[in-house]
Structure 1
Amino acid sequence: MPQPRADAVLSAMADTEPTQRDGHIQAIAGKGRMAWQRDSDHNERAPAEGRFARWKQVIGDGLRFHSDEARATEVAVAAQVLDRMLDLGCPNSVRVA
């Protein structure tokens, strides 16, 4: 789940039927954003979500071939393309503060 915005508000039904998002907003309000990130494993999921977003942006949303063998080849080629892009100088993000 993406991080709720800093100005996120609870849904109208948060008291009776809270959503998963409501729970996250309440946890952030109670413990703070950094503690919520640690407790919800947000920092471990975010890199994987970024990789999938990059895959969809560069390669596309779905596979084009129909047979399992052809799909396996398509995925292998796409992964090599993305790895090569990283080798050629995609920036590495580093937290500074």
Structure 2
Amino acid sequence: DGKPTYQTVLQHSATANVVIPPRSTAVESNGDTGPPDQRDKHIAAIAKDGRLQWQAATGYGKRALIETAIGRYKGLIGRRVRARSFATQQTEVAIGCIVLNRMLACGHPESVRRQVRQA
């Protein structure tokens, strides 16, 4: 969330996209150090469009959705695979995903937008 964090990530992988939200009190760095870096662009985007728009544009929050899905899988199917060979492990996980998707589909409402009558 600060300059050192961004610099550490970019030292590890120069092409990495850092999707760490800056703190609410963050300010852009001085422009005399060169072109704006990722952190400055994030701060400017949040100031211009708002934090929710920035989250949607950068994909921030997808990790939480994935962790929730994995938690559901582990809770319903189990914490480990039981098959021994890799091919049957793949089959077991695929079947588990099918079962999980079918169970989740049963819980989704089939809603239809109501038409408003014009008087």
Q: CA deviation at 1:81?
A: 1.4
Deviations 1:4-62, CA, capped at 9 Å, x for gaps: xxxxxx6xxx35x2267994124469613112212311366554443223212222333
Distance 1:73 1:47 in 2: 24
Match of 2:104 in 1: 86
Match of 2:22 in 1: 25
Percent identity between matched residues is 33
- Between stretches 51-60 and 74-83, larger displacement belongs to 51-60
Q: Quick one: which of 58, 63, 85 aligns to 2:81?
A: 63
Question: Structure 1 residues 80 and 23, CA, compared in 2 at 3 Å: closer, same or farther?
Answer: closer
Structure with the larger RCO, 1 or 2 (CA within 8 Å, 6+ apart): 2
TM-score by length of structure 1 reads 0.52
The alignment partner of 2:21 has SS state of helix
Retained in 1: the 8 A contact 2:19–2:58?
Answer: no
Question: Structure 1 residues 44 and 35, CA, compared in 2 at 3 Å: closer, same or farther?
Answer: same
Question: Structure 1 residues 22 and 42, CA, compared in 2 at 3 Å: closer, same or farther?
Answer: closer
Retained in 2: the 8 A contact 1:28–1:36?
Answer: no
Q: Note the residue ranges of structure 1 that are not aligned, 5 or more in a row.
A: 1-9, 93-97
Tell me the amino acid that sits aligned with residue 83 of structure 1.
Answer: N
Does 2:94 match 1:76? yes
Q: Quick one: which of 54, 62, 67 aligns to 2:72?
A: 54
Q: CA deviation at 1:74?
A: 0.9
Which of structures 1 and 2 has the bigger CA Rg?
A: 2
Distance 1:35 1:28 in 2: 12
Distance 1:69 1:79 in 2: 16
TM-score by length of structure 2 reads 0.45
